[in-house]
Amino acid sequence: MRIPLVDLKKQYQSIKDEIDEAIQQVLNDTSFILGSEVEKLEDSIARFHNTTCGIGVASGTDALLLALTACGIGKDDEVITTPFTFIATTEAICRVGAKPVFCDIDETTYNMNPEKIEEKIAPSTRAILPVHLYGLSCDMEKILTLAREYNLKVIEDCAQAFGSEYKGERVGSFGDAGCLSFFPSKNLGAYGDGGMVITDNEEVANHLKMLRNHGSSNKYFCGMHGFNSRLDTIQAAILRVKLRYIDRWIKDRQENAAFYNQMLSNTDIEIPFVPDYARHSFNYYTIRIKKNRDKLQKHLKENGIANAVYYPLCLHLQDVYKDLGYKSGDFPIAEKVQNEVLSLPIYSELTPLDITEICRIIKQVTV
């Protein structure tokens, strides 16, 4: 038996007619850049998050980059974020000329520890950029309280957390801007790159609309230096179809995660922790193995079970950030967790039989 980390072919087959019809309609209309499907998707996703504006962009990375720019973050500013995330988070910070300042993570949630943020705030700090890792929301109340006290912007990285909730409200709706990724393997994934920024701030939204379109609100007349970062109409049409199913797909993921938890309950594996304040969307189902993680990973691969380590080397230890002056031991929790996490297959089409087989193979190595 071979089980992929995510099975996009099965997902496509389940909604093939709707997807094909949506793509064909765009081909018939021949409005491929900022066509009507983009605006419809923006409105739908803004409503989904109970925000007023959605601005489609070319990728989740661009969503971060443009959101930081629109919120006024720039040269020599500092942005507090986590060292345990994908590099797109800090890449965007650096691309606007700002400096990432890392804060260690909480050992149970793997998200930035809100109790450690205040000590990182300095005169140059302009924003906090929390990452809702794996589909689990950060503790936003504490982050927002600090942001208000120190007059800081909050830009939420929701790339892994579409549909996740904090105290009954969807992530991305709390800060000055929420950044979404539609990378194909996400809970809501396109058939190529795509992203969106959601916000309640009309000024930020208007700024974003200009930034994504070469700094222009009127063709050939530019008010600022911008980017070429527009969500393709075909991708928007695909995403509109998928959005109809997202609540069901997330429910399926949650049920699969619960079954994993049950099957692994009598092992020494640490299953995902979900605080009372959170609704986990399980973009990834990530376990923690405190001994022999690499041995288990190898054993799973040898038996046809796809898996992944998100992320094997914290950002402060990456070569690209040597100039920031961090060293091994600066963020002990993140550095510990990076050596122990392992993500298993998790998607709507995964069956109880699949999960039973995965757990059977896991138990051959760890009990």
DSSP sequence for 231-258: -BHHHHHHHHHHHTTHHHHHHHHHHHHH
Beta-bridge partners for 81: 102
What pLDDT score does 254 carry? Answer: 98
Query: Do 226 and 213 touch, CB atoms closer than 8 A?
Result: yes
* pLDDT tens per residue, range 312-365: 999 999 999 999 999 999 999 999 999 999 999 999 999 999 999 999 999 998
- CA 94 → CA 72, 88, 105, 174, distances in Å? 14, 10, 21, 23
Model confidence band, residue 366 (pLDDT cutoffs 50, 70, 90): confident
Model confidence band, residue 299 (pLDDT cutoffs 50, 70, 90): very high
Q: Is 34 helix (H, G, I), strand (E, B) or coil?
A: coil
DSSP for 273-333 reads P--TTEE---SSEEEE-SS-HHHHHHHHHHTTB--B-S-SS-GGGSGGGGGGT--TTSSHH
Which has more pLDDT, 266 or 285? 285
Q: Is a pLDDT exceeding 60 seen at residue 13?
A: yes
What pLDDT score does 221 carry? Answer: 86
The alpha carbon of residue 173 and the mean position of all alpha carbons in its chain are separated, in whole angstroms, by 14
What pLDDT score does 12 carry? Answer: 98
Phi first, then psi: give them for residue 60, nearest 5 degrees: -65, -35
Model confidence band, residue 367 (pLDDT cutoffs 50, 70, 90): low
Q: Is a pLDDT exceeding 80 seen at residue 112?
A: yes
Dist CA 257 CA 97 (whole Å):
40
Task: Kindly state the average pLDDT of the residues 126-147.
Answer: 98
Dist CA 348 CA 196 (whole Å):
23
Residue 93: name the closest of 121, 123, 65 by CA: 65
Q: Is a pLDDT exceeding 60 seen at residue 283?
A: yes
Residue 179: name the closest of 210, 154, 206, 203 by CA: 154
Domain boundaries of the chain, sorted by first residue: 8-243, 246-363
What pLDDT score does 50 carry? Answer: 98
Q: Please identify, in words, the CATH class of the domain defined by 8-243.
A: alpha beta
Regarding pTM above 0.95, the answer is yes
* pLDDT tens per residue, range 68-106: 999 999 999 999 999 999 999 999 999 999 999 999 999
Task: Kindly state the average pLDDT of the residues 250-272.
Answer: 97
Please count the residues of the chain. 367
- 246-363 has CATH 3.40.50.2000 classification: no
DSSP conformational letter for 138: -
* pLDDT tens per residue, range 189-228: 999 999 999 999 999 999 999 999 999 988 888 888 999 9
Share of the chain above pLDDT 70, in %: 100
What pLDDT score does 220 carry? Answer: 83
Query: Do 249 and 269 touch, CB atoms closer than 8 A?
Result: no
